[in-house]
Amino acid sequence: MFIERLSKSHYADRLSGIIRYWPEAALSFISFISFLLLKIKKKTVLLVEPNTFHGVVLPGFYKYFHDLGYNVLLISRYANVKDSSFCRVKDKPKIFVFDPLVMRWVLRSKKIQIFDFVLFTSRQIFAQDIRVWGDYFGYLKSSLSPRFGIFYIEHHLLPRKILYPINTRELFGLTRKTLNGTEVPILNPHYFGEVNYTKLSKGKRVFIFVGEVSPKKGSIHALLDVVRKLEKTFEFEVWLVGKGADSSLSDSLPASVKTFGRLPFNEMFGLLEEADFSLPLLDPRNDAHKDYLHGVTSGMQLLILGFLKVPVIHADFAKAYDFSAEDSILHEDEGFIAAMERALTMTENEYNCLQKGLKKLTETFYHESLENLKQRIDERISASSL
């Protein structure tokens, strides 16, 4: 009985996690010593990502603080560092790798008091190996005390899924949302470093989808049906990039579809630069997609802005993400195939106009986000001097 109880305990989970993710466990020890010995400069901010995903947002949050004159340190999981989301950033922040347990030790240490601010790039943690699924601050079991305070990003601004107290003065969202009647300021991380903004291909046009490829969600099958019809008339390619793109689609694919599987950021960024159009593949009739209308931001939105890839997108989701006919190809429920045809027959001048619209939107998001962050920082500093 003792052995059975032990095998189902947190200690067994912890040991299993160390064995399974041994590179992260080894790097945690090295990073822990380095972090404790590191001399923190004045006006320094700490970014914290507790999950093994969300790496796509890290360069953008780093840039906002860097542009406001802050030194930035990042603590993250090994999976994000291995994928190298900062591969296109020249002046990278110093990055420390921690597993969840050691990360908690670090965040509860007195050294955190030296930082001006701590930004949690995810408010929630999803780590099955340590039985944590939700509020990260609850997992820490301690209040942090940087010089002026903490901020955090909530990726799931859905009231029914938030089971902890919310301080909206600490909260940012990726896109414009309201929570319980209060508008949440945006901090939209669409920066990825040095990016080539490519023009419309003069040859075969390329559409790209980045994300989990799951036939169960329906959108992939709908896309494949449309491709089969269009490739009878047009010559083009559709690239599917993400988990499941090399295994879930075992059935015969249309000749125009290429799958790449899950890629590290540098390879994925390269494909985005080569593509002409992006495919968010969001459908309001699909229950699995409805949260993306009411509080969850698709990672494709950030990539579209960061690489100026004209999206072929349902009008409902375009509205939720501030896209419009000035920067996107919009369609309604039954209009996806017509929207794809428009992309395939679009002139270079029309494409350039949409790209200019996207560029204008990215500048709007950047300046609004930077001002939101600056305002919150100024509020905290002013309050501390009273």
| Residue pair 147/115 in contact by the 8 Å Cβ criterion | yes
CA 79 to chain centre: 14
Where in the sequence is the domain holding 143, given as residue range(s)?
2-153
Q: Left (φ > 0), alpha (ψ -120 to 50) or beta: where does 105 sit? A: alpha
The CATH number assigned to the domain holding 104 equals: 3.40.50
- 223 and 324, same structural domain? yes
Assess whether 209 and 357 both reside in one domain: yes
d(CA 100, CA 299): 24
What does the block give as tokens for 243?
């988990």
Which pLDDT does position 221 carry in this prediction? Answer: 87
Question: Same domain for 76 and 225?
Answer: no
Say whether both 126 and 230 belong to one domain: no
pLDDT value, residue 2? 47
| Domain shared by 353 and 218, yes or no | yes
Q: What is the pTM of this model?
A: 0.93
Residue partners of 309: CB distance under 8 A and separation at least 6:
208, 272, 275, 276, 277, 278, 303, 358
**Contact between residue 139 and residue 125 where contact means Cβ atoms under 8 Å apart:** yes
Report how many domains make up the chain: 2
Report yes or no on 71 lying in a domain: yes
Q: What is the CATH number of the domain that holds 335?
A: 3.40.50.2000
Residues 114 and 210 in one domain: no
* 321 class by beta-carbon count within 10 Å (0-12 exposed, 13-18 middle, 19+ buried): buried
> For residue 291, is it within any domain?
yes
Amino acid, res. 175: T
* Contact of 40 with 34, CB cutoff 8 Å: no
Query: 232 in a domain, yes or no?
Result: yes
Shared-domain flag, residues 295 and 210:
yes
The answer to the question of residue 158 being in a domain is: no
Give ∠ CA 159-165-170 in degrees, rounded to 5. 95
Q: Quick check: is 277 in a domain?
A: yes
What the block records as the tokens of 98 is 């921690």
Encode the chain (386 residues) as per-residue pLDDT tens digits: 545 554 455 545 655 655 667 789 899 999 999 999 999 999 999 999 999 999 999 999 999 999 999 999 999 999 999 999 999 999 999 999 999 999 999 999 999 999 999 999 999 999 877 788 899 999 998 889 999 999 999 998 888 778 788 888 999 999 988 888 889 999 999 999 999 999 999 999 999 999 988 765 568 889 999 999 999 999 999 999 998 877 656 567 899 999 999 999 999 999 999 999 999 999 999 988 999 998 899 999 999 999 999 999 999 999 999 999 999 999 999 999 999 999 999 999 999 999 999 999 999 999 999 999 999 999 999 998 87
Are 100 and 139 within 8 A, CB to CB? yes
Residue 124 to residue 166: CA distance in whole angstroms: 13
Q: In angstroms, what CA-CA distances link 271 with 205, 228, 277, 282, 375?
A: 13, 22, 11, 21, 37
Same domain, 108 and 250: no
What pLDDT is attached to residue 244? 83
Position 65 in a domain: yes
